[in-house]
Amino acid sequence: MRPVGLLLGMALLLAIALPPLTSAQGPNDFPIANGWFYSQTNGQGGGGQLGYSVTDADGVPFWTWFRRYGGVSQVGYPVSHRFVWNGFIVQAFQKVVFQWRPDQGGTVAFVNVLDELSAAGRDDWLLQNKQVPPPFDWSGDSGLPFSAVVARHQALLGQNPAIRQVYFSQPDPITSFGLPMSTRDFGSVFVVRAQRVVFQQWRVAVPWAAAGQVVIANGGDLGKEAGLYPAFAIQPAGPGVQPPYLGATATPVPPSVCNGDEQLSVVPSQPVVGQPLRVEVTSARASTNVGLNGPFSPQFAGVRGGGRGTIWSWTLTPTNAGTFNFVFTIGGIGCASGTMTVTETSWQTSAPRDPLPPSAGQAQLGIRNKFGQGGNQTRLIARTIAPNGIGYDTDVVAVADQWAYVNYPSSFRGAPALQPGSYTVQWQIPGGNQVASDAFTVSGQPSVCNGDEQISFSPQNAPPGTPVTVQVTSARASTNVGLAGPFTPQFLGTSSGGLGTIWSWRVVATSSGTFYYRFSINGFDCRTGELVVSGAAPPTPTPIPPTPT
């Protein structure tokens, strides 16, 4: 069963800036029996008498939940009639797709449209036409407690404080947005793809956003443009008219057999041809007589504790590329399904799978081009994003199908010692695309960093012997701060300004070179800055002898 949630899709369509609009019904909509009729999205500018109806008909309370979720201002106008999708009754709106869940107490959830687009093989289309990056490889999530999975994914938000602020502005961001899945810097716009949302922060002014503004565009519209919905469901009709949609049960599995929380995943999540992999299903109930239906002759590998309580595993090796479906069964009844896309991509990664203690000192990270031939070499940049939200880089050369390893933090420029929290590892071609990703965690108390700390030097390029003022600013007036680095930094005090609070130190470099300074709060490294000292030292003044009297 695919996860459900909210998608405010990414597009160069009509983007909606935060905070959400507050407008209600417009002039082209009106009440009908048991609901409301809207013509704004009929493809004719709202003209005529065709559109889409939102009702509580047939015991499916979409109109009730539409109002409960905030109406037009929060979910947009309807862009489809009701239809059955993956065994559930759904209806698409501009921003989200409603999913009726009688098996979960009669609630209305939000379809994970981005996951559906991936399952439909539309990631390349999203990248080329909508600047939505494909999801990273999150196979390392397997077997981890949910809290650790959340921390690993949310660590991506450290790359963009503005998007991070929008994400955590919601009281329950996982329900509203899902987990972050990937990031991409396109130059003019920085994009974060989540399970249920795609965020953009534009660096240049565009018709729908000012420079620096974070926007979220219309996900329901995106699914419609990508052709995810059946043709009959998107054809506008008259007020109260609903094309036939029943005939498939809204509860796809008998609750007496299935637990209802079964979740299927593939490890790694982006496999390649010839790569052995696992299909795992987790549930809170330790059921028996389980099975997995799908291609490549899945072999049962056993059952263990973990995930939501119990994890069943199957192994298989795909022999060709494509998109394939699997169904998990209990007593022959299908309880969960999932889609696996196999590609010819050959990058594999390694990282610690169990949480490391800070005393470990190092985390070994590896990458391998499994299908590399004849000693081919690929130059890569490994970037590790620490819990403080800062990315630290190192250079790597991957040779043919051999593993190449680096150690964090010792191999990474300016990286601080291991601190408790989640680390995201990104493997990139210099000046090009990301080829793989991974993650690891360090156990212990999380960092107390605010995430917006900035460090500056004045002057920026000083010759030896010149006093340099080092300033750190943050919106939060933290205490117990420190600055570690060479030449014995002298604390000057705290003042208002910058992002809100400024801490200042003074150093006098006695030699040329590049030196790193680390700003900390309660002993946690929150920001690293680089001071370049170059040029000739100022001449030593020659004393003037006193004039004889």
Read off the pLDDT of residues 250-259 as tens digits, 9 standing for 90 and up.
444 334 477 7
Q: DSSP letter at 494? A: E
Task: For residues 285 and 322, state if they share a domain.
Answer: yes
From 307, 342, 377, the end of a domain falls on 342
Q: Judge whether 415 lies within some domain.
A: yes
CB 327 within 8 A of CB 293: yes
The SS3 call for residue 450 is coil
From 272, 307, 342, the end of a domain falls on 342
Task: For residues 224 and 279, state if they share a domain.
Answer: no
Whole-number pLDDT of residue 1: 31
Domain count, the chain: 4
Residue 333 CA: distances (Å) to CA of 299, 330, 340: 19, 5, 21
Task: For residues 191 and 76, state if they share a domain.
Answer: yes
Q: Are strands 88-93 and 97-101 parallel, antiparallel or unpaired?
A: antiparallel
Task: For residues 59 and 133, state if they share a domain.
Answer: yes
Q: Judge whether 130 lies within some domain.
A: yes
Instruction: Report residues of the chain scoring pLDDT below 70.
Output: 1-27, 143, 175-176, 246-256, 270, 321, 343-346, 371-375, 432-433, 445-447, 536-549
Backbone torsion region of residue 377, taken as left when φ is above 0, otherwise alpha when ψ lies between -120 and 50, otherwise beta: beta
CB 281 within 8 A of CB 249: no
CA-wise closest residue to 424 among 445, 442, 401, 448: 442
Task: For residues 312 and 352, state if they share a domain.
Answer: no
CB 311 within 8 A of CB 304: yes
Within 13 Å, how many C-alpha atoms sit on residue 338's CB side? 19
Backbone torsion region of residue 417, taken as left when φ is above 0, otherwise alpha when ψ lies between -120 and 50, otherwise beta: beta
Task: For residues 73 and 201, state if they share a domain.
Answer: yes
Q: Kindly report whether the global pTM for this prediction surpasses the value 0.85.
A: no
Rg (CA), the chain: 27
Cα(364)–Cα(357) distance, integer angstroms = 13
Q: Judge whether 159 lies within some domain.
A: yes
Q: Judge whether 395 lies within some domain.
A: yes
Within 13 Å, how many C-alpha atoms sit on residue 370's CB side? 16
Cα(126)–Cα(533) distance, integer angstroms = 45
Q: Judge whether 382 lies within some domain.
A: yes
Q: What is the DSSP string of 14-69?
A: S-EESSPP-----TTEEEETTEEEE-TTSSSTT-SS-BEEEE-GGG--HHHHHHHT
Strand partners, 423: 440
Whole-number pLDDT of residue 163: 92
CB 183 within 8 A of CB 134: no
Within 13 Å, how many C-alpha atoms sit on residue 190's CB side? 15
Q: Judge whether 228 lies within some domain.
A: yes
Tokens of 155: 């660590």
Task: For residues 104 and 84, state if they share a domain.
Answer: yes
Domain region containing 469: 454-533
Task: For residues 379 and 522, state if they share a domain.
Answer: no
Amino acid in the structure at residue 441 = T
Q: Judge whether 475 lies within some domain.
A: yes
Q: Which residue has the tokens 């899902």?
A: 178
CA-wise closest residue to 346 among 127, 137, 132, 186: 137
Task: For residues 368 and 316, state if they share a domain.
Answer: no
Q: Give me the CATH number covering residue 303.
A: 2.60.40.10
Q: Give me the CATH number covering residue 402.
A: 2.60.40
Q: Which residue has the tokens 């929008």?
A: 166
Task: For residues 90 and 212, state if they share a domain.
Answer: yes
Whole-number pLDDT of residue 537: 61
Q: Judge whether 547 lies within some domain.
A: no
Cα(99)–Cα(60) distance, integer angstroms = 10
Cα(12)–Cα(415) distance, integer angstroms = 37
117: enclosing H helix or E strand: helix 113-119
From 278, 309, 342, the end of a domain falls on 342
Task: For residues 187 and 332, state if they share a domain.
Answer: no
What angle (nearest 5°) sits at the alpha carbon of residue 300, between those of residues 295 and 303? 135
Residue 18 CB contacts under 8 Å (≥ 6 apart), including other chains: 166, 169, 214, 215, 216
Task: For residues 58 and 138, state if they share a domain.
Answer: yes
